[in-house]
Amino acid sequence: MTSAPNSYENILELNDLQTSFFTKDLEVKAVDGVSFAIPKGKILGVVGESGSGKSITSLSILRLLKEPGKIVGGEIKFKGENLLDKSEANMRKIRGNEISMIFQEPMTSLNPTFTVGQQISEAYKIHQGLNKKQAKQRSVDMLKLVGIPSPEKRVNQYPHELSGGMRQRVMIAMALACNPELLIADEPTTALDVTIQAQILDLIKDLQERLGMGVLLITHDLGVVAETCDYVAVMYCGKVVEYTDTKTLFKDAKHPYTVGLMKSIPQHDQDIEGDLAVIRGSVPSPAEMPKGCRFAPRCPFATELCREKLPDLVTDEEGNQIRCWIYSDEWDGDPEVNVHAETERTTESY
């Protein structure tokens, strides 16, 4: 791939990204060799349990990590150019202008001492050189675009005067103010009730289609992925374990972890008093990773090979990627193993 203008096919490519946190005696690998791509104008969902490295990956892309976190290897290619080669001054021009981010909690991301109009206007002043009056009018237009009623009134209000759903819409307005080519949304509906969640996700998808952005959507909810995303990267313990398009994932997921996540979703026809499928165990500490496959201690199909040796991320003829020994010539388990076979079920008390 060349770096000539408009020659790139993917708006974003991560190649073997490695991000670690350092203590006096220890290096904790929070993101350990992550690779994936987002084609122009498409939505990639990154899914996994808490502690899988999703949010650290997003902060690494924007180079917003604070000490003791540090990117120690790999590439972050945006429009064909490696962001790790950019100066901090150049990154400030890119953040909020070409790449924007929506954070989980709007009340911790919005400044309570400034009106929402002042906060949206800041991007126009910094990146587009608009004056105060022009920036305010553009802010009103953005509030209207994201579906906030009476935008001329809301633009002068403070965050605490708005509902949670409206605050999240303000965050989206701020993120989209300069028509970015890539939007990173980190669990954008976590703090909202179900009906508002659906509205926000519909809004993001609608704006993505209208503006032609690439979107990196971080979530733990496979239902959100099914409704919103074109591609999916499943992460576990700092590594991508499966990468494919959304239809393929839901039709024929291959990694035991992905299958476990899907079976953990309550079904509409499921007996609520019956058994609930779960993935036994918990995500290991980043400081005490298993020797072999990271998922081996929780995997019902794990063999000695899995426990001793870490599998590579292998790409098949269709471009789907999988990190699992079951699909390799070295597999030392049952050659007829079916990862979709009924897994052990347990009843959880709440």
Q: Write the pLDDT tens digit of every residue in 127-142.
A: 888 999 999 999 999 9
Q: How far from 322 is each of 55, 156, 176, 297, 327, CA to CA, in Å?
A: 21, 50, 34, 18, 8
Residue 344 above 60 pLDDT?
A: no
Structural tokens at position 24: 């006096």
In the chain, the amino acid numbered 329 is: D
Structural tokens at position 157: 């209000």
In this predicted structure, which of 50-59, 103-112, 308-317 has the lowest mean pLDDT?
Answer: 103-112
Q: Name the residue with higher pLDDT: 179 or 255.
A: 255
Q: Which of 25-39, 275-289, 334-348 is most confident?
A: 25-39
In this predicted structure, which of 147-161, 177-191, 195-209, 264-278 has the lowest mean pLDDT?
Answer: 264-278
Mean residue pLDDT of the chain comes to: 87
In the chain, the amino acid numbered 55 is: S
Q: Write the pLDDT tens digit of every residue in 276-315.
A: 677 888 888 877 889 999 999 999 999 999 999 999 999 9
In this predicted structure, which of 107-116, 154-163, 250-259, 271-280 has the lowest mean pLDDT?
Answer: 271-280
Q: How far from 208 is each of 175, 180, 201, 253, CA to CA, in Å?
A: 12, 10, 10, 26
Scan for tokens 């899907």, then name that residue: 262
Structure pTM? 0.87
Class of residue 160 by CB neighbours under 10 A (exposed 0-12, middle 13-18, buried 19+): exposed
Structural tokens at position 211: 């503006």
**Cα(103)–Cα(110) distance, integer angstroms:** 10
Residue 115 above 90 pLDDT?
A: yes
**Cα(3)–Cα(82) distance, integer angstroms:** 10
Please count the residues of the chain: 350
